[in-house]
Structures are given as C-alpha cells and as structure tokens.
A and B are shown apart, each in its own frame.
Chain A
Amino acid sequence: MTPSYRVTVSDREVALPTGWELTWLDRAAGVARVARGEEAHIVVVEGSGTEWHVTIAGRRVPVTVRTRREQRLAEAEVASRQRGGPIDVRASLPGLVVALGAAEGDEVEEGHPLLTIEAMKMQNEVRAPHGGRVVHVAVAAGQTVATGALLLRLE
C-alpha cells in the first residue's frame, strides 16, 4: 500500500492514479514492470528518498515523491528563495568554460548568456534563470568545471 505522497513529474503536481502495480524485474538495475489490467510498461527507476527519475519509452522524467511534511518543508524553501535571496548558478554538465558573458556587478535580464561551457565538442550557453545582479563570478575562462560546480551568484 502506497502512503499518501505528494508527487510532481517534471515539476508539475500529479494526482496519484490508482490500480497500477509495480513489480521489480531487476531491483539493482532499477528495472520494473508497471501494470494495470492489460496495460504494462517496462520502466527504469532510479533514485531514493524524495528525488527520482523514471525512464519510460526512452524518456527520462524527474519525479519528486514527498510526504506531507517534506512537501511543507520544500514549499518553505521555495518561499524563502522568492523573497530575494541569492541564487547560485551551477554547472548542469561538466566541461570547459570557454567564455564569460557577464562580470561581477553586471545587471542581467532573464535569459542573458552568462557563460559558455564546452562539453563533448559542443558549446553550451548558460543563461540567467531570472534577472538580477551578478554578485560573484566563481570561474574563469579556460577552467574545467564538474557537474554542480558553482559558476556564479545572482542576487
């Protein structure tokens, strides 16, 4: 029996449907069969706690699964961030910083190209998630960054 979770799929809240049954085919590899009536799908499930990824038909979807308490905590955090606290912009993929598009003190608008990371021979632009002032630039051109590395801070 599934406890009463609050679930979001790709950041959108989803009411948990009923009647589906999950059977692990290979728990270590995260391979499971999800079935309801005559409909069945093989999915790959990764994650633990509140953060999960489910791959269906080749599409990997982020899913959060929270208890009511965890949901309230998460909402409190979002509210705190919206009150104007600084936002850390982090690398979503590892690579080489090849160009900087903003300097400390710059006022940038949402979508402004902040810097370019080269990975797998491709140039990936990192854009401002929202408008604000660049209060700290943590990297320099020519530097290699890992996934999750702090790139710069917006306020």
Chain B
Amino acid sequence: MRKDRRPAARIGKVLVANRGEIAIRVMRACRELGIRSIAVYSDADANAPHVESADEAQRIGPAPATESYLHIPNLLEAARVSGADAVHPGYGFLSESAAFAEAVEAAGLVWIGPPPATQRALGNKLAARRAVVDAGVPVVPGLMVPLEDGDVPDLAEIGLPAMLKAAAGGGGRGMRRIEAGNELPAALAAARREALAAFADGTVYLERLVSPARHVEVQLLGDRQGNLACLGERDCSVQRRHQKLVEESPSPAVTPAIREALYDSARRVAGTVAFDNAATVEFLLDAEGRHFFLEMNTRLQVEHGVTELVTGLDLVAWQIRIAQGERLPAEVLEPALRGNAVEVRIYAEDPWDGFRPRAGRVTTWREPAGPGIRVDAAVRPGLELTPEYDPLLGKLMVHAVDRPAMVARLRRALDETLIGGLQTDLGFHRWLVDQPGFATGEYDTDLVASVWGNGPELVSGLADLAATAAAEARAAQPPPRAKAGGDPPGSAWAARARAEALRQ
C-alpha cells in the first residue's frame, strides 16, 4: 500500500542533502547509475571535498547546521533551482525527519529512504517498544510508559543497574545509568534536561541495563512490492559514550541459530510499519545469546559499508533503485555472505582525553591501499575542521577471507594510514587490533570503558622515538634567518640577560 507516495519514475538528478564522506558515498552511487548529483554546502563548506565530488553545487546558508543542513526551506529551494527530481538525506541531519521526507514528497520529489509514515511510527523509542512487543519481539525489560517526576518505579522488577533513556533519543544523549534507587531523582532530572536540549522532548523511560552485552544490528532492504531482505548482521559493540567506533560483519557472537532469531525479530519489527527502502534494526545480545530490540533506524547507517563488503551489494544504489520502483532480485533477497569485514571510524578526537573532539587543520593525510581495503573519507591535506559538524573524518574498512585474516589486514591498513595536524582516534584502533579480546572476537560494549579507560601510558620506547624524530627534524632544519634589523638568533635571551643585569 503506497497510495501516499508518488508513482515509480526514473530518477535523473539527486540532491544530496548532506556533507562529508556520506555525501561523497551517495554521489559515487549516482555516478555509477548515470544519475547527476547536486551537492549542498554551507558557508563553512564552500571548498569542502563533497562539493568537488558532485556535478553541481548549491549554497544553502551560513555555517550553523540549523541554518543550512537542517534548514528544510533552503534545501527544497536548492532542489528546485537545480532541477533535482529526488533527494537522498544520507545519515544524521534530516535523514530521520518525517517532516523533511513529507516536505520533499509534497514538493513533487522522490524521497530516497523509508516512507515518512515509517519514520513517524518508529521515531519515538517508547512507542516503538510498545509496537514491537505486540508483534512478539523481545524488548529489554523495563517501563512501557514515560517516567514522570516523583514516580517510584519497581526497581526490583526492572532490575539494577538500570538505564534512563530519552524516548526521542539517539546518539547516546539523554541516557543515565542508575546503580541504586536513591540516584533516580537526580539522574532523571539530568537525563530530562539533556533530552530536552538535544531533541526538544524531555520524555524519559527506564529499562534494565543489559551487561555484559553486544550491540548487534540487522540490515534490511525492502522494495515497494513487499519483498524484504535481511542482509546479515553487524556487530557494533566497540563504543564510547554509547556511540559506535568499530563495526564488523558477521558478528563473532552470532551463530546461525541466533542469526535466524535476529532475522525473525527484524522482519516482525519491519512488519509493524509500511516499510520500504533501507533500514537497520538494532538489538542487544546478552551473554546467553538472547536478543532484545533496541530501535529501528529508518535510514542508511554510517557502517553500511561492512555489509556491502560481505554481500557484494551496493546499498545506496539499491536505495535509489527501490525509490524508482524496482523489485529486489533473488541475489539481493538471498545474498551469499562472504568472508569478514570490519570498519573503524576515524574521528578527530583524542582517545587519551576521554575521546574529546579536536578541531584544527589536517596537515597530512595518507590512506592505506592494496587488497581488501576501502576508505570512505572526505579529507585532504590543508582541510580545516570546523566545530559546527560531526568530527568524523572518514571510515577505514577491510574485507578478508576469514576473521584472523581480517584482523591482520586491519593492522596492516592502520600502519599505512598517516594523519598529521591533529589527534585522531587512530591510536585507539591501533591499540585495539592488538587486544587479545578483539583478536578472539570476545569483547562487549564495556571494552572502551573497562579495558581502554584513559588509554595506556606512553611507553618509553615510543617516547624515545618521538624525541629522536623531533630532534633529528630540528637538526635538519635550516637555521632561522636573521631578521631585517640584524638581530642575531638568540637575541631574546641576550635581551633578557641585559634586562636582568639592569634590574640588579
């Protein structure tokens, strides 16, 4: 039933309502399909890499996202002026905004993504919990209604530790861990404040904290004829601040029986709404292999590439083809999963400083190459990172015949990757590949908090090496040239000595 949507039509020109590596990713799919792409850019991004990758570009406003990448009227105007007939939202920004999807369709354009009604139905985590329970999908034990100030929930029944979550949440915001009942009032106030600030909706609920747990998600593609494909799972258990850093497929923890159970639940979740296009159903997997529904993301995910590597499918191309009304063929509905793939996200943030973001200028950028390597990035030397946007520089993915080969290939690829100008999380990833828990695949969502902590001390071997490199580099520098006035080098010291002498 797609009466609310436009009839199938060939797409000739796609407006990519995003920036950075995902905008480039979508433009690449467009080019391979013979479709023209239009970039949009804020004033901060006039020379950004994604603008170069498109056939055309439209300015959509000043640097703040609320006035550009989140500004629906400006995006629609850019689509109108450029003659686009479809819009791809990427991830983040307006990708899960039902209002934007509806505005795009109301303007007579094709929305490349799940129908706005799906987004409305599943955008609220609490509403989604209620809907999927009715469909027979296991959810994390906890409240099915909002937690109001002064409520005294039955913590014995929910189980401690527990987690406060924002109903409108995402990206780890509006979440608070509860160890004991007396922490609830203060944590509730804090979670509500954060949820209000981030989502303009302070609705909060409480559920059991499943720990140890793995974060596992099923990739879905559905056509408009009602066919639904489950394209394997991704394990996203390496997280900081409840946000993903590393994703791999298949999950080392998922057996064929668990995969069947995950697929069954994912199909049931999708069945609660009028779904087509691409989406991901996220679950927690506990130590006994039981899974619990977390949420359904009605958009392309950052980590879609690992699924592309193990299935050989181009998910973005299929998003576009589904939006054109094409039917999914057998090779998509029953894909063969080949080998193991992993992605590490390269963020401009300092793992030795609590993964805090770092702004600055990228001075050096060298990507790895060779067998089984894929880099999706939007970086070049000289690029200035502005604090307005997400600090993701790019994603390094590798694909190999099995998991040990995948880990070895990732280590090799990380050693080939060189970034200068600012601290990134590359050092964390280089540490991760040498962790016994990562090598065996036995890790969970606590890895960063419990094993990394604040990061290892700088071992003396590395300190020696850094000292040597800098000293050699200085020695190799030409001596500073004397200034026009004729001050010899070291005159600051001489001036200071004179000043000291005069004072005595």
**Chain A residues within CB distance 8 Å of chain B:** 1-3, 5, 7, 9-10, 12, 14, 16-17, 20-22, 24, 29-32, 34, 41-50, 52-61, 63, 65, 69-70, 72-73, 76, 93-96, 118-122, 124, 147
**A1: B residues at CB distance < 8 A:** 475
A48 to B363, CA, bound (A): 14
Chain B 382-401, CB-CB to A under 8 Å as 1, else 0, gives 00001111110000000000
Contact flag A55-B458 (CB < 8 Å), given A29-B381, A31-B366, A45-B470? no
B458-A57 in contact (CB<8A): no
Q: Is B47 an interface residue (CB 8 A)?
A: no
B352 at the interface (CB under 8 A from A): yes
Contact B466 A61 (CB under 8 A): yes
| Contacting pair B475 A9 (CB below 8 A) | no
Q: A16-B467, A17-B464 are in contact. Are A29 and B420 (CB under 8 A)?
A: yes
A5 vs B473: C-alpha distance in the bound complex, in angstroms? 12
Contact partners of A17 in chain B: CB under 8 A: 464, 467-468
Please measure, in the bound complex, the distance between the C-alpha atom of A82 and the C-alpha atom of B422, giving whole angstroms: 30
A-facing residues in B324-377 (Cβ within 8 Å): 352, 356-360, 363-364, 366
27 A-B residue contacts at CB 8 Å? Answer: A1-B475, A3-B475, A14-B464, A22-B468, A22-B469, A24-B476, A30-B420, A34-B468, A44-B418, A46-B420, A49-B474, A50-B474, A52-B473, A52-B474, A57-B415, A57-B427, A57-B462, A59-B423, A59-B430, A60-B422, A60-B423, A60-B424, A63-B470, A69-B490, A94-B359, A119-B357, A124-B357
Name A70's closest neighbour in chain B (CB-CB). B493
Task: Give B residues with C-beta under 8 Å from A.
Answer: 352, 356-360, 363-364, 366, 381, 386-391, 414-415, 417-430, 458, 462-477, 480, 490, 492-493, 496
Among A1, A43, A94, find the residue whose CB has the most chain B CB atoms closer than 10 A: A43
| 9 smallest beta-carbon distances between A and B, as pairs | A58-B426, A58-B427, A22-B472, A119-B387, A44-B420, A63-B470, A59-B427, A52-B470, A120-B357
Q: A12-B463, A122-B356 in contact; A45/B469 too (CB < 8 A)? A: yes
User: Is B359 within 8 A of A93, CB to CB?
Assistant: yes
**A59–B418 alpha-carbon span in the complex (Å):** 10
Most chain B CB inside 10 Å of its own CB: which residue of A2, A42, A54, A124: A54
Please indicate the chain A residues that have their CB under 8 angstroms from the CB of B387 in the complex: 93-96, 118-120
- Bound-complex Cα distance A57 to B492 (A): 37
Write the chain A residue with the least CB distance to B385.
A120
The answer to whether B462 touches A56 (Cβ under 8 A) is: yes
Among the listed B390, B421, B466, B493, which residue makes an inter-chain contact with A54, where contact means beta carbons less than 8 Å apart? B466
A55's partner among B356, B386, B414, B419 (CB-CB below 8 A) is: B419
A61 to B425 Cα, complex, angstroms: 13
B494's nearest neighbour on chain A, judged by CB, is: A69
B467:A14 contact, CB within 8 angstroms: yes
CB distance from B153 to the nearest CB of A (A): 28
| Complex contact A16–B471 (CB within 8 A) | yes
A56 CA to B415 CA in the complex, in Å?
Answer: 9
Write the nearest CB–CB distance from B227 to chain A, whole angstroms: 37
Q: A16-B468, A50-B474 are in contact. List 15 more A-B contacts (CB 8 A).
A: A5-B475, A20-B464, A32-B469, A44-B420, A45-B470, A45-B473, A52-B473, A57-B427, A58-B419, A58-B427, A60-B420, A60-B423, A63-B467, A94-B359, A122-B357
Give chain B nearest CB distance to A16 CB in angstroms. Answer: 6
> Is the Cβ of A72 less than 8 Å from the Cβ of B493?
yes
Report A-chain residues with C-beta under 8 Å of the C-beta of B474: 5, 48-50, 52, 65
Closest chain-A Cβ to B235's Cβ sits at a distance in Å of: 22
Q: Do the beta carbons of A58 and B356 come within 8 Å of each other?
A: no
Residues in chain B near residue A122, CB distance under 8 A = 356-357
Residues in chain A near residue B363, CB distance under 8 A: 29-30, 46
Closest Cβ neighbor of A57 among chain B residues: B430
Give A20 to B466 CA distance when docked, in angstroms: 11
B471 touches A41 (CB 8 A): no
Partner of A59, one of B389, B391, B462, B492: B462
Say how far B205's CB is from chain A's closest CB, in angstroms: 23
Q: Among A41, A42, A48, A58, which residue has the most Cβ atoms of chain B within 10 A?
A: A58
Instruction: List the A side residues contacting B496 at CB < 8 Å.
Output: 73, 76
Which residues of B have CB within 8 Å of A50?
A: 474
Rounded to whole Å, the gap between the CB of A141 and the closest CB of chain B is 14
CB distance from B207 to the nearest CB of A (A): 25
Task: Name the B residues within 8 Å of A12 (CB-CB).
Answer: 463
Alpha-carbon gap, A54 to B388, bound state (A): 27
The reply to whether B381 and A9 form a contact with Cβ atoms under 8 Å apart is no
Residues on B with beta carbons closer than 8 Å to the beta carbon of A55: 418-420
In angstroms, Cα B496 to Cα A72, docked, is 11
Looking across the interface, which residue of chain B has its beta carbon closest to that of A54?
B466
Task: Given A9-B458, A56-B462, A72-B493, answer yes or no on A93-B358 (Cβ-Cβ < 8 Å).
Answer: yes
Residue of B nearest to A125 (CB): B356
List residues of chain B with CB within 8 A of the CB of A60: 420, 422-424, 427
Distance (whole angstroms) from the CB of B172 to the closest CB of chain A: 11
Say whether B389 contacts A120, CB under 8 Å. Answer: yes
Contact B470 A58 (CB under 8 A): no
Most chain A CB inside 10 Å of its own CB: which residue of B420, B428, B467: B467
CA–CA, A10 and B455, complex, Å: 14
* Residues of A contacting B423 in the complex (Cβ-Cβ under 8 angstroms): 59-60
B467-A31 in contact (CB<8A): no
A22-B476, A46-B420, A65-B474 known; A41-B465 Cβ under 8 A: yes
Contact of A63 among B360, B364, B466 (CB under 8 A): B466
Assembly CA distance A57 to B412 (angstroms): 11
Q: Are A58 and B424 also in contact (CB < 8 A) when A1-B475, A14-B464, A65-B470 are? A: yes
Determine how close the nearest CB of chain B comes to the CB of A12; give it in whole angstroms.
7
The answer to whether B471 and A7 touch across the interface, beta carbons within 8 angstroms, is: yes
A56 to B277, CA, bound (A): 43
A20–B492 CA distance with the chains assembled, in angstroms:
32
